[in-house]
Amino acid sequence: MTIETKTKSYVFQKKISEKGLICVGAKNDGMYLVLEDPATGEQKVVLDGVSGAAVCSLGHTDPEITSQFSKWASESPYTFGAYYGNNSAEDLGEFMCNRSNGAFESCLWTQSGSEATENAIKLMRQYHLERGDGKRYKIISRLQSYHGFTIGALSVGDGTRKPPFKPILLSDEQTPKMPQLYPYRDWKEGMTEEEYTNHLLEQAEKVFIDNDPSTISGVIVETVGGSTIGTPTPPKGYLDGLKALCHKYGALFMLDEVMCGLGRCGYDFTWMHPEFGLTTGGPDLLSVGKTIGSGFVTLAGLFFSPKFCKTFNEGTGYIMGGQTYHSHAFTCRVGLAVQQKIVRDNLVENVRVVGGYMKEQLKEQLKDCKIAGDVRGAGNFLSVEAVKDKATKESFDPKLAVGPTLHKRIFDKGVIVMGANGTTGYEYQGLTDVTCFGDHVTMGPAFTTTKEHADIIIKAVVEAFYELEKELL
């Protein structure tokens, strides 16, 4: 076989014609991936510091779960949701709602976070129709946010991946944007936390007022932002204030916890976080994904509050439309087992403890690094923002692609993290001409991560930052 035959790809992802590295297995409790170069057959074993894309809550393998797959598959005939349900979807819904302190009473299980966002946009619209309020169709969200890559999801999101597709997305009029939530840059010196919160809420209210509040269907924000902006946590009172604002104007309040939720930030739901969460119960809708099935299955979903359900129950009682693989029995059965294990083994607490240790160590070990501008995040969902000047917070020249460079450096040291650019914003000139401002790396290892694993991740990140400091300053 020629090298070209060995490396030719038949999968339409990343570089179309080349396989690139291929994952051929996992090792050591699923914490390490084995990646093979198809051209040479050479293998590299790397510690996954970001569990794929903040997905694998139990790591990449878990024999306790995967050994049951054959049994669960044989017990899971396909069910078409429009005609009949299945107990696995019901059991997963009940188990998850029971962890929500009464915030939710029903769930819709989808295959991806993007699909959850699409369904949310549609169901919010139906909610208002059920109440005889057909004027509401706009969704407010934030700049520098991500809610998925399908048309509706990309429309409510913002970031470097969006501009080429703008002509085929929902209009700006349908999807007004609030400014980004970015305490590192926007919480100005001298401002108290309360003042900063009020400032954000004033900005949010202005968006309502400027866009005719009676036409707003809902607001969607990430509780803790993800890959686009690198895990900024909101100030105290912000989420409560935003929820109150939505309700003042008759709109729904939705949180997206696809990336940051279900334990990733150290609590069952991230809106429960004692430092910045809601103190007034949950949101009206919540999206989840990624960790729910630990990447063993393609599972995501939506949670609905009692108020949301009541409106449907007092109206038509039905949701309009559905998708073939909604609430799929086998994926829900696996998701239930993953979630039961997370609860049984107290893994959310482990995220809090080991994640807390990681954050503290990163702050301590990077305090003298001139290019480590900010260490932020919650639980083990952590980021370090790279800057050229710590005092002015000036970012590096986009041409240096510092985020992707850090990614590669850290990978070469045997650890996978997400290294990204576009943290502070972007300018789009053409398909191959997008300028991405600002850089960060994000971590989010498995919930089973030990302090020993954490030390390996921290060492690689810290070394890469100091190396780049030497080279770039």
Ligand X SMILES: Cc1ncc(COP(=O)(O)O)c(C=O)c1O
Distance of closest approach, residue 151 Cβ to ligand X, in angstroms: 12
Tell me how far the alpha carbon of residue 287 is from its chain's centroid.
10
By rule CB under 6 A, what string of x and - marks binding of each residue 74-113 to ligand X?
A: --------------------------------------xx
Distance of closest approach, residue 157 Cβ to ligand X, in angstroms: 8
- Residue nearest to ligand X according to CB distances in the complex: 113
Task: Tell me which of 222, 284, 385, 439 binds ligand X, using CB under 6 A.
Answer: 222
Distance of closest approach, residue 432 Cβ to ligand X, in angstroms: 23
**Interacting residues with ligand X between 251 and 270 (CB under 6 A):** 256, 258-259
Phi then psi for residue 448, to 5 deg, are: -90, 5
163-181 in b/e form (b: 16+ CB < 10 A) is beeeeebbeeebbbbbebb
| Residue with Cβ nearer ligand X (258 or 461) | 258
For residues 380 and 146, what is the distance between their CA atoms, to the nearest angstrom? 19
Interface with ligand X, residue 147, by CB under 6 A: yes
For residues 408 and 165, what is the distance between their CA atoms, to the nearest angstrom? 28
How many residues would you count in the chain? 473
| Residue with Cβ nearer ligand X (100 or 114) | 114
195-to-8, 208, 247, 419 alpha-carbon distances in Å:
56, 20, 22, 32
- List strand residue ranges (DSSP E) for 81-226, in order: 106-110, 138-142, 177-178, 216-222
| Count of residues engaged in binding ligand X, rule: CB under 6 A | 15
Interface with ligand X, residue 148, by CB under 6 A: yes
Interface with ligand X, residue 289, by CB under 6 A: yes
| Residue with Cβ nearer ligand X (117 or 311) | 117
For residues 24 and 34, what is the distance between their CA atoms, to the nearest angstrom? 6
Structure tokens at 82: 């429009």
Task: Tell me which of 109, 127, 146, 238 binds ligand X, using CB under 6 A.
Answer: 146
| Residue with Cβ nearer ligand X (57 or 365) | 57
426-to-143, 163, 203, 423 alpha-carbon distances in Å:
11, 9, 21, 8
Distance of closest approach, residue 300 Cβ to ligand X, in angstroms: 6
Structure tokens at 436: 């991405």
**Interacting residues with ligand X between 47 and 66 (CB under 6 A):** 53
Distance of closest approach, residue 79 Cβ to ligand X, in angstroms: 22
Binding site for ligand X (CB under 6 A): 53, 112-114, 117, 146-148, 222, 226, 256, 258-259, 289, 300
